[in-house]
Each structure stands twice: as structure tokens, then as C-alpha cells.
Amino acid sequence: MIELGYYPGCALHGSSNDYEQSLRACLERLNVRLTEVDDWICCGASAAHSLNSMLAVALPARNLGLAERDQLHEVLAPCPLCSMELHKANHALAANEALRARVSEIVEVPVSGNVKVLNLIQVFERAGLERIRRAARKSIAHLQAACYYGCLLTRPPATVQFDDAERPQSMEAIVEAAGAKTVVWNFATECCGAGMTLASEKVVLELSQRILRNALEHGANCLVVACPMCHVNLDMKQQDTREQFGIEQVLPVYYLSDLVGMALGLKEAQLGTDRHFVPARNGR
């Protein structure tokens, strides 16, 4: 049994609760137990740093302090934006004693900056590729996945210290261990527009169509993501993108936990893939 803290962030308890459903169902099958950080708050995401630099550290630091208080030394943050904010706070606090003292006073809980933050790929790596292979119950060999990391999962490299920032391969290893195939393509770390979907849909549709086209051109029949915002832009917005840019082929978008969960024998209703806008691609 692997025991980890869990920071869902706002998205996984809101608009992307299908992601939480998927990862919980999948990780349970792999004997990974999650303990949610009690009384967590928003990490500040993309807005706090533009308004108040101390607030941008204090918001994620509060969550790290709560995890530390409850002796959760490793915490899964499945949203790359959340994990990046937690990493940034950790780095800032670890390097500055005066900042640690000030932030601990602001958030009303001691924060040392020593809690290890993990993304979902790292948790699957911890569970073990061989365990995933052995646990597979259903063939997903019909899937040819374009693994899409997006712009935050591996960046900034000095802060997140995860995989190669430009040519990551860790997601491909997990997908292949689950029994699917992967494609080599050009847009694995390009931006989908993230939160611009609310402010400028035109920008998001333009960026998304590039990702969809490139994946299709390289033989993919699905996209695999590990980010709730990427999933929103590429799944929920896909019909608008295809209609505006004349893309005929539909491309299902799975969370990484969806794909692994399918291999483990979990049903669509257990994973939440029945709630995706683009229907899942079932084998024959």
C-alpha cells in the first residue's frame, strides 16, 4: 500500500470532477491510498501572482503547511497548475528563512517547505510500470495515443524538476505499460490556451486545432492528458474547434488515469469517461 496526501485543487472538486473520479478509481486498484489535505484552499492558480506576490506564496503555502501538520510528507496534486504553484512556494520557502517565518505567521500554521509534491505521472511511476502490466485485465491495444503534457507539467524545469521540459517520455512509458501504443508527434508540450477559454475563446480554438491536427497527422486515435484545463479545451471545446477549422475526424481525449483504468478493467461509469463530450473509443 502506497499512502499519499492529496490536494485536489478547485478544478477536481468542480468542473473536472470526472478527473478525480477517474484517478481515485484507478489508484485504488493499484493500492494507492489518498488522504485529502484537510481544509485546503485555492492555490491562487494564475491570478494571485499578478495581484500580490506575498499572496501568491501564502495561498499554496497554507496547503503545504496543512499537509505538514497532518504528517502528509508527500502530496499528489493532479492539476499541473496547482502542482506548479505548490512547487514554486516550496522553493521560495526553502531558500528564505525570513519568508518562511512571515508566511507561517500569515497562514497561521508552520510551513517549512519540505513537503514533496507529486503529479499523477509520478504516482503511477511509484506504483510501478510492472505492477500496471500485471494488473491489466482488458486489452487497449486499439488505442494509439498522442501523449499531451501541455505547457505546465514539465515547466519551469528548474522548479518542477520533472522529465525533459521539451521532450518528455514518462507518460508514454505508462501508456505503453497499460497496453496501448503511442505516437511520436510535435505538439506534446505546446500550450492549449489554458484559462484563456474564458477570456478569449478564439485563441483557445486556434491553439487547440493545431494540437488536434498534429496528433491526427501522426496517426493518433486519441489524446491522453494529465491536466483538467487541457481536457476542457480539447474535449469540451472540440466540436467548436472542428467545426470552425474543418477537422472531420473526432479525437477522444482521456485523462491518463482513464486509459490506465480501462486497462485495469474499470467501466466507463466508474472512470467518468461516459461524461466526456467526445465519446470514448472502444475496442472491437
Q: Are both 114 and 144 inside the same structural domain?
A: no
Band of residue 284 on the pLDDT scale cut at 50, 70, 90: very low
Q: Are both 169 and 261 inside the same structural domain?
A: yes
Burial 26-43 (b: 16+ CB within 10 A, else e): bbebbebebebbeebeeb
Q: 144: part of which helix (H) or strand (E)? A: strand 144-147
Q: Are both 98 and 146 inside the same structural domain?
A: no
Q: Pick from 59, 89, 118: which residue ends a domain? A: 118
Report the pLDDT value the prediction gives residue 217, as an integer from 0 to 100.
Answer: 98
In a domain, 198, yes or no: yes
Report the pLDDT value the prediction gives residue 52, as an integer from 0 to 100.
Answer: 87
Average pLDDT over residues 86-91: 95
Q: In whole angstroms, give the CA distance from residue 56 to residue 64.
A: 13
Q: Give the CATH number, domain containing residue 156.
A: 3.40.50.11810
Q: Give the CATH number, domain containing residue 76.
A: 1.20.1050.140
Residue 18: domain span: 2-118
Q: In whole angstroms, give the CA distance from residue 252 to residue 221.
A: 7
In a domain, 132, yes or no: no
The edge-to-edge listing of strands for the beta sheet with 32-36 is 32-36, 2-6, 74-76, 116-118
Q: Is the pLDDT of residue 171 over 50?
A: yes
Q: Are both 216 and 162 inside the same structural domain?
A: yes
In a domain, 262, yes or no: yes
The alpha carbon of 127 is separated from its chain's Cα centroid by a whole number of angstroms, namely 17
How many residues does the structure list for the chain?
A: 284
pLDDT in tens, 22-73: 999 999 999 999 999 999 999 998 677 777 889 999 999 999 999 999 999 9
pLDDT in tens, 102-115: 999 999 999 998 99
Q: Are both 158 and 245 inside the same structural domain?
A: yes
In a domain, 282, yes or no: no
